[in-house]
A and B are shown apart, each in its own frame.
Chain A
Amino acid sequence: MKTVFDKPHALTDVPFHYCPGCTHGIVHRLVAEVMDELGIEGKTVGVASVGCSVFSYNYFNCDMVQAAHGRAPAVGTGVKRANPDNIVFTYQGDGDLAAIGTAETIHAATRGENITIIFINNAIYGMTGGQMAPTSLVGQITQTTPYGRKIETQGYPIRVCEMLATLEGPSYLERVSVDDVKNIKNAKKAIKKAFEYQIEGKGFNLIEVLSTCPTNWGLSPVEALEWLRNNLMVHYPLGVFKDKGAENNE
């Protein structure tokens, strides 16, 4: 019998612990498919962060290092500098990357550290039960903004790709989404390009993936996808914010 669909080799057999409708599973699969297609699983080292994706070290078949909250880019730097032939990626959420780990993110980016960051933006802290994230939208109701995020008290959400695009270090910054088939395909293309850029030594790159958190958004999986389209995508437009490869071709 012909196999038409299978688990990527770069994923282990461990069942995901993610909630129904959460898009972490899709993104894990895309990263694993890219590792398979580029044949890099054996030389890749992943860095898991703190948050729902902390257990990603159980799911990816490559070597995995678990990092403290926000520190994945620094840990990834240490891994990459020790063995520059390794392909190094971090997998981080919005609280991890854009709040507690902002300094590590910006400085890895400005150094042009030759690593890839998969940045999951679902505008909320998932694992701790739905608190306001640095990317939570104005007016968004969370456990710690029960009356909605207010500009006067909590300020504005951070647009990470736009912020990093002001730096010269990054080689490639793109915001993608995994809300439908077309966008998932595009997300995979972006992730693959990011890893390819790293292989080519182009330097720091980050793929921001707009994702859902039905559990903490208090929505069904389908409603969550709609909320992503109608809200997250409005504040966080999809697109390429920096591409040194494309600039060079011009």
Chain B
Amino acid sequence: MEKLLMKGNEAIAEAAIRAGCRHFYGYPITPQTEVSAYMSKKMPKVGGLFLQSESEVAAINMVYGSAAAGVRTMTSSSSPGISLKSEGISYIAGADLPCVILNIVRGGPGLGGIQPAQSDYFQATKGGGHGDYHLVVLAPSSIQECVDLTFEAFDIADTYRLPVMIMGDGMLGQMMEPVVFGEHKGREIPEKTWACSGTNMKREHNIVNSLYIDPKELEDTVIARQKKYDYILENEVKYETDSVEDADIVLVAYGTIGRVAKNAMIKARAEGLKVGLVRPITLWPFPAKAINDIASTAKAFISVEMSMGQMVEDVRLAVNGKAPVYFTGRTGGIIPQPTEILEKIKEVAGGIK
């Protein structure tokens, strides 16, 4: 199969088109602008639409409209832009609409910086917008995984009727690696009988809505959605483990830093330290059960992040007191070096004897 050398942002855009997305709405923001640039070049050639909106707020609402109309649709942005989209994301979740949102995370808060970061973990996994809802959050760590998870993202969104976020960072977006666009088998997608594309006078009118004035009715819809989330928690968790079987210390890291953490693990092993790695691929649903199982044999965990420590809270909940959970990381656009992580490993190793 043909191997192509592509930037993460462009590979995601190409994968989205191949996954059947023909309606993309974007607003410029660094470091994800290549997605829009790619879409604006390619969409007209496949009969699709790239529309540059007047704001991130408008873009996500155009996605809402196209999703309500029953087509595969997507938007992409970076951290400050995702904050602006959060209103629309809440409405999309509340109206049970499928779509894909790409967040190429940069440092924050505020305007922050434009270098890679993971400081939007809370926003992505704990809500972001208002109300009881979740996104399925996929976190690739290579360009190939960016491609594979983009196909998955559209399928998951359509299967469960919910917004799916692909969370990368500036490093993944800008980095080039060889990728293969293989044959994607795809899931069986239920027919979109709820879509608003005209009744043709053949059925009752469809209403896409998230408003329920009667509290009982609202509670019922939220509970029904929660059941969907419960099913996803059981069935859609993805993660990768490396050398955890005999590990005393287990690193937990996702995305870009998942790769750096692996290097740190290899260095530690070379020095005789029994270190393993869990790399969550779905941040929501979080691989809590897998981590809890590993906590039966591991003596300590270190959450390694490009933030001040956000995922560490989920690791702690997953470990549930079975072992101490530590954190190491850098933020603001600085990627921790394997040596920095190794230092933390040695510090923790010194304490667990």
Q: Are A74 and B197 in contact (CB under 8 A)?
A: no
Given contact pairs A42-B201, A63-B196, A77-B58, enumerate 12 new A-B contacts (beta carbons under 8 Å). Answer: A57-B209, A63-B205, A63-B206, A64-B206, A67-B61, A68-B91, A74-B58, A74-B61, A75-B68, A77-B65, A83-B71, A86-B198
Number of interface residues of B (CB under 8 A): 40
Q: Does A117 contact B (CB under 8 A)?
A: no
Given contacts A45-B69, A62-B205, contact A71 B61 (CB under 8 A): yes
Question: Would you mind naming 30 contact pairs between A and B with Cβ atoms under 8 Å apart?
Answer: A12-B205, A41-B201, A42-B198, A42-B202, A45-B69, A62-B205, A63-B198, A63-B199, A64-B205, A64-B209, A65-B64, A65-B65, A65-B209, A66-B95, A66-B208, A66-B211, A68-B61, A71-B57, A74-B53, A74-B59, A74-B65, A75-B62, A75-B65, A76-B65, A79-B65, A82-B23, A83-B69, A104-B54, A104-B57, A104-B58
- How many A-B contacts at CB < 8 Å in the complex? 138
Chain A residues near B55 (CB, 8 Å)? 103
* B31-70 interface (Cβ within 8 A of A): 49, 51, 53-55, 57-59, 61-70
CB of B111 closer than 8 Å to a CB of A: no
Chain A residue, CB-CB nearest to B67: A78
Give the residue of A43, A57, A76, A103 whose beta carbon is less than 8 angstroms from that of B54. Answer: A103
Q: Closest residue to A45 on the B side, CB-wise?
A: B196
B64 touches A67 (CB 8 A): yes
Residues of A within 8 Å of B, CB-based: how many? 37
B168 to chain A: which residues have CB within 8 Å? none
User: Does B88 contact A86, Cβ atoms closer than 8 Å?
Assistant: no
Choose from B51, B68, B73, B87 the contact partner of A65 (Cβ within 8 Å).
B68
Residues on B with C-beta less than 8 A from A76 are: 65
Q: Decide if B25 is an interface residue (CB 8 Å cutoff).
A: yes
In the bound assembly, the distance between CA atoms of A74 and B62 in angstroms comes to 5
- On whether the beta carbons of A79 and B58 are closer than 8 Å, the reply is no
- Is residue B235 within 8 Å, beta carbon to beta carbon, of the partner chain? no
Check A211 for interface membership: any CB of B closer than 8 A.
no
Question: Would you give the 0/1 interface string for B89-113, flagging 1 where the beta carbon is closer than 8 Å to chain A?
Answer: 0010001000000000000000000
Q: Which residue of B lies closest to A44 (CB)?
A: B198
Query: Is A54 positioned at the interface, with any CB of B under 8 Å from its CB?
Result: yes
Within 8 A of A (CB), among B196-220: 196-202, 205-211
Distance A41 CA – B201 CA, assembled complex (angstroms): 7
